[in-house]
Structure 1
Amino acid sequence: MTEVTITVNGAPQTHDVEDRTLLVHFLRDHAGLTGTHVGCDTTQCGACTVHLDGRAVKSCTVLAVAADGGAVTTIEGLAEGDTLSDLQQAFKDNHGLQCGFCTPGMVMAGTDLIRRYGGALDEETVREQLEGNICRCTGYTNIVKAVLDAAGKYRAKQQA
């Protein structure tokens, strides 16, 4: 067992874990944050996407010991109190979800995408960049609309 401390959504989480514990299991089983979903365990689906030190990563392929000392933001950490992040709200407004299983990973990947591109996105770029996140329920149309909606709000805030 190894003691690991990761700042999760702004609060330090210290837990003893086996060296083979994946970050996704640290978050779900030790930190009690179940918004990060376990889908494929092989980095194919993206349901487990979180931000580690400001970058989107698939937490099913990162060991918790490798994230020791790092900062993780999960889907639970995007909202400010009862106020959803712009992308969370855009998913709601644009009907960007159906069953909801992929939604946390899509929102986390989309948030990173908007940040990396400064909100300057088009449909082709969003589709290309979200390629590593799988949704089995939708045709991605409303997911793309949601990301573009939030990207527009991001750009407007940057220009204000």
Structure 2
Amino acid sequence: MSRPDVEGRVLEVVRAPAAVLARPGERVDPTSPEVVQLAADLVATMRVSPGCVGLAAPQVGVGVKVFCVDVSGHPKARTQHGTFVLCNAEVVSASRNEKAREGCMSVPDLTGDVKRATRVVVRGQEPGTGAEVTIETDAFEARALQHEIDHCDGLLFLDRAAGAHAIHPRKTYL
């Protein structure tokens, strides 16, 4: 996937209950300069955030359907497509549900047990070119994609957890 040569800026990550996190994002023109800049900013912000494997535009206060993912080197990842950004993405097929623990930079003090598909096909567009991209993946990368698409649709992992018993305080290590 192509990556336009745009310098990314590190943006502030908004936290729940920020309204932008609870509203479905708008579709974007992936070829617009603003979207290309936002894509670079998302990647830059993800890279400086320890443990972060994905970041969606609503998490930086922008209510649009753009996100980045990179699960490279994560111990739970099987399939890895490296660093990529998708615009207007949607899950076109999903199978094999499994419950697992998730966390989120916008909900830093909690984790939750969330049931998600372990195999997905996702279709979206590349920033810059607008080319249609289809990603077929599994395991941890599939979970990360669904988590970020949820952000673009105004949902947090808390909305997907099975109830209060499935929400846990995040462990902190000194």
Q: TM-score, normalised by structure 2?
A: 0.31
The structure richer in strand per residue is: 2
Higher helix share: 1
